[in-house]
């Protein structure tokens, strides 16, 4: 998958743990892990909206496109 989800950087900036973020977003820690490890096939806009709200950031701050070699 060429889309990378960089949640860790924002988590460090906001001094928040993965567990806290998962709780605020309303997803399980397992699902957040799927997102962070790049295993997710898709993300719902509602989830992206909740993550951006929880981390007070823009989608571009956590989403990155990296062309596969």
Partner 1 sequence: MKTNLSKRMRLVTSLTIFFGVLNMFAVIVQATRVVGLWSEPPLAKWNDDILGLQVAIFAGTLAYGIVMNLLIMLFMHNSIKLIRNGEFFSKRNAKILWWTAPTYLIGSFCDYNAYIICQSNADSILIYPNSFLIPTFLIGISIVYSIGVILSEENRLTV
Task: Report the greatest alpha carbon distance in the chain.
Answer: 35
- The CB-of-5 to partner 1 minimum distance in angstroms stands at 9
CB 40 within 8 A of CB 3: no
- The CB-of-67 to partner 1 minimum distance in angstroms stands at 21
Interface with partner 1 includes 52 (CB under 8 A)?
A: no
- Give CA–CA dist 47/50, Å, rounded: 5
Candidates 15, 41, 60, 67: give the one binding partner 1 (CB under 8 A): 41
- Give exposure, 42-59, as e/b (b: 16+ Cβ within 10 Å): ebeeebbebbbebbebee
- The CB-of-40 to partner 1 minimum distance in angstroms stands at 5
Interface with partner 1 includes 54 (CB under 8 A)?
A: no
> In this complex, which beta carbon is closest to partner 1, that of residue 15 or of residue 39?
39
């Amino acid at each position: 998958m060429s889309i990378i989800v960089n949640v860790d950087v924002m988590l460090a900036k906001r001094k928040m743990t993965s567990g806290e973020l998962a709780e605020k977003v309303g997803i399980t820690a397992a699902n957040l892990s799927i997102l962070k490890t790049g295993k997710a096939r898709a993300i719902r806009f509602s989830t992206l909206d909740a993550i951006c709200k929880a981390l007070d950031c823009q989608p571009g701050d956590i989403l990155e496109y990296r062309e596969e070699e």
